[in-house]
Amino acid sequence: MLSKPMDAQDGLLKSLLKRPDTSNEPRSVGDWLSRTLSRILLLPQQFFQRLSLPSITPRLRSGEFVGSLDCGTTSVRFIVFNQYGEIVAHHQLDFPQYYPSPGWHDHDAEEIFKAAETCIEEATFALERAGWARDSIKAIGITNQRETTVAWSRTTGKPLCRAIVWTDSRTRTTVAHHERQLENVGIETSPGEFKKGEDGKAYIKKITGLPLSTYFSAIKLRWMIDHYPRVRVAHDSDDLLFGTIECWIIYKLTAPRLHITDVSNAARTLLLDIKTLQWSPELLSFFRIRASVLPKLVSSSEVYGAVARGPLAGVPIAGLIGDQQGRSLAIYAGPHAKPVYALEGSIAVAGSAIKWLRDSMGLIDTSADVNTLAARVPDTGGLYFVTAFSGLLAPYWDASAGGLLIGLSQSTTPAHIARAALEAIAFQTRAIVGAMKTGSGMTLTSAGLRVDGGVTSGDVAMQVLADIGGFAVERPEMRESTALGAALLAGSAVKLWGWDLARPETLKEVNTAGSRVFVPNMQKGVREKKWEGWKKAVERSSGWEDVSDTE
């Protein structure tokens, strides 16, 4: 009812509700109702503010959930999990990729943060639409693409340049320069003591567990300082802050600003001593990087601070972990936990090869279509696709490798190329598994390889992996394991549902959904012949790019 007469607005309402008697007006009830509602929507906002109506907003239930912000290479997603690791609400957004020159791959850090904010907001609204109050989210964790390097101003809090993505290979000359430095001068291991050449490389690997490569953050940051005047001035004037993506996101989410990173991300910078879990003074000196630009080191599971704004204002941020470690999380990771080490191999171009087929070549409309296209042919027809868009990472570590399609013939079709792209992922996975066996003496169990991620959604891709690898491939039903890992860390930090990563029995009901196993169907002789062809193709791709110490 109206709280009091509204004079002119009363008349406006009556005129809007009155059905005009003109021959041009629609005569059906539906048309009249449609026009009437359209006119009512034109009423001044003050009219509705003076209506006294009962609330029709449903009462939202209070529950307990944990959120996970997953900032990947091409998209951001925010996922809300329940105590069983089931997805209750989620939202995902792609963000732009920039390729300004061959081998270059940039991100706009502000665009990533805006996508993160939107995903948090939309997933929270989705939770409310499902009938749950937003304060049911008790903590959030953050997981991220690693190595991608962000440089921003301590004074303004704004990026000084675009972020350099982990796949980027522009820093080949920077790597070559430091290799030359190792040969001629060496790395200072103690005052006046230097290790040179291969001894110097071995020393760096002993400290960090990593080789000198374009892959890692220290090389990218050094390149920024050398090539971007704004970054160099900020570094020299102590105004520069450095971080990987999770460091940037938590800096932007909190107030006062937190400049922190967890050890799983720090371990991918080429600056962390993985035994002491402290920044290495020797490597900071070698790369000529000020210690003041680095974030504070924290564990992967503790309460760091709280979200400062938005629908989750006040919610604790309690988990940080790199995406690959998050996928394999099975250990205690709190402030007093002992470090646990893992062998890891990374493929620079996997899902991005499929995006290339979609966006650059126009062979498919969606990434999922690669499976449909590849299924049109039984094999690649002798075609190999070495996806060295930015060199090759593990186990080749060859920055000079160039992308290569070899074995083309007049009978080659888009389907053969699509299948060759899937085989490229499988060949590189097999190479990494083999290197792990050589390095550790351990082999895959009969259960085979457990997989997750976007590429694994395709049945054809998984069968190709099983056939080329010669091992079983197990694909879980719930494949958001990266996000779930961050959620487990956050939930454990705030003791949600009794979760405790130090006691695996408290997690026995998490993510118990079934899985599908793909077994090899390819004959061993065919598999090994294809493997020899792949190795020959990789050899042909090597040496294509100039990696000399020149610009």
Q: Which of 327, 359, 393 is the last residue of a domain?
A: 327
Helices (H), 331-458: 351-359, 369-374, 414-440
Q: What per-residue confidence (pLDDT) applies to 551?
A: 53
Q: What per-residue confidence (pLDDT) applies to 52?
A: 43
Q: What per-residue confidence (pLDDT) applies to 442?
A: 81
Question: How far is 411 from 285, CA to CA, in rounded Å?
Answer: 56
Q: What per-residue confidence (pLDDT) applies to 60?
A: 78
What is the token pair recorded at 35?
A: 């026009």
Q: How many other C-beta atoms lie within 10 A of the C-beta of residue 292?
A: 12
Phi, psi of 196 (to 5 degrees): -115, 165
Residue 422, domain member (yes or no): yes
Enumerate residue ranges in the chain where pLDDT < 50.
1-27, 29, 32-34, 36-56, 330-332
Q: What per-residue confidence (pLDDT) applies to 524?
A: 94
Q: Which of 327, 343, 375 is the last residue of a domain?
A: 327
Percentage helix, strand, coil for the chain under 3-state DSSP, each rounded to 5: 40, 20, 40
The model carries a pTM of 0.78
Q: Which residues fall within 8 angstroms of residue 505, CB to CB, at 6 or more apart?
A: none
Same structural domain, 135 and 86: yes
What is the token pair recorded at 172?
A: 């080949």
Residue 501, domain member (yes or no): no
Same structural domain, 368 and 288: no
Distances (CA, A) of 438 to 216, 398, 435, 445: 24, 19, 5, 15
Q: What per-residue confidence (pLDDT) applies to 35?
A: 52
Question: How far is 78 from 71, CA to CA, in rounded Å?
Answer: 9
Give the helix/strand (H/E) hosting 46: helix 45-49
Closest by CA position to 320, among listed 78, 122, 144: 144
Same structural domain, 125 and 263: yes
> pLDDT digits over 419-464, tens only?
999 999 999 999 999 998 888 888 877 778 888 877 888 999 999 9
Same structural domain, 20 and 121: no
Q: Which of 311, 327, 343 is the last residue of a domain?
A: 327
Residue 191, domain member (yes or no): yes
Residue 338, domain member (yes or no): no
3-state secondary structure of 392: strand
Question: How far is 466 from 219, CA to CA, in rounded Å?
Answer: 35
Residue 428, domain member (yes or no): yes
Closest by CA position to 242, among listed 289, 299, 175, 308: 289
- Please give the sequence-ordered ranges of beta strands (E in DSSP) within 110-266, or none if there are none: 137-144, 150-153, 163-164, 187-190, 193-195, 240-243, 260-262
Residue 123, domain member (yes or no): yes
Query: Is the Cβ–Cβ distance between 472 and 449 less than 8 Å?
Result: yes
Distances (CA, A) of 511 to 82, 185, 334, 485, 515: 10, 52, 21, 11, 11
CATH number for the domain harbouring residue 103: 3.30.420.40
Residue 490, domain member (yes or no): no
Q: Which residues fall within 8 angstroms of residue 114, CB to CB, at 6 or more apart?
A: none
Range of the domain at 427: 351-471+521-541
Q: b/e map of 76-100 (b: 16 or more CB within 10 Å)? A: bbbbbbbbebeebbbbebebebeee
Same structural domain, 208 and 274: yes
Same structural domain, 13 and 85: no
Same structural domain, 371 and 412: yes
Residue 297, domain member (yes or no): yes
Same structural domain, 252 and 356: no
Phi, psi of 405 (to 5 degrees): -110, 115
> pLDDT digits over 194-233, tens only?
888 889 889 999 999 998 999 899 999 999 999 999 999 9
Count of the separate structural domains present in the chain: 3
Q: Which amino acid is residue 314, in one-letter code?
A: G
Quickly list DSSP for 435-474: HHHHHHS----TT-EE--SGGGG-HHHHHHHHHHHTS-EE
Q: Write the Ramachandran bin of 284: left for phi over 0, alpha for psi from -120 to 50, otherwise beta.
A: alpha
Same structural domain, 442 and 532: yes
Question: How far is 414 from 374, CA to CA, in rounded Å?
Answer: 8
Closest by CA position to 333, among listed 308, 300, 362: 300
Same structural domain, 160 and 267: yes
Same structural domain, 356 and 279: no
Same structural domain, 248 and 355: no
Query: Is the Cβ–Cβ distance between 241 and 153 less than 8 Å?
Result: yes
